[in-house]
Amino acid sequence: MFRTRASLATLLITAVLAGCSTGGNTGGGSAPAAGNDGRCEASGAEFAIGKQGSADLLEQARKASGSQMARILKPHDVVTLEYRSERLNLNVDERGVVTRVNCG
């Protein structure tokens, strides 16, 4: 009886975790740059530092970094701690000026 319950519990946990996984590109945008499998290369987006953060700049930086997705992070934004190698982050200051470019 205990084995049956343990097996069912394991099966249930596996099913729940499988439902939480992402199955595709949730960041939108076009195909990743050739050769990097959609992984972020922050050095390609360093041109954005010192510029006003905007949707257009974000898309240009995303393409230049080869990332599949990108986001602008403002001071005091609540963010998850998960590392996404295909995501570009543009960190802006209180005035909305990009101060840092990184992946994750």
Superfamily covering domain 38-104: Trypsin Inhibitor V, subunit A (3.30.10.10)
Output the six-digit token pair for 20: 């939480």
**Cβ neighbours of 61 (radius 10 Å):** 26
Residue 91: strand, helix, or coil: strand
Beta carbons within 8 Å of 47's beta carbon, 6+ residues apart = 61, 64
Going by the DSSP 8-state scheme, the letter that residue 52 receives in this structure is B
Domain boundaries along the sequence of the chain: 38-104
Q: Would you call 68 exposed, middle or buried from its count of C-beta atoms within 10 A (0-12, 13-18, 19+)?
A: buried
Mean of pLDDT values over 15-29: 44
Give the Cα-Cα-Cα angle 38, 41, 45 (nearest 5 degrees).
115
Residue 73: strand, helix, or coil: strand
| Helix ranges (DSSP H) in 1-104 | 2-20, 55-65
The predicted pLDDT at position 103 comes to: 94
Kindly tell me if the per-residue pLDDT of 92 is higher than 80.
yes
Residue 94: strand, helix, or coil: coil
Q: Which of 17-31, 44-58, 74-88 is predicted least confidently? A: 17-31
Mean of pLDDT values over 90-101: 97
Judge if pTM exceeds 0.85: no
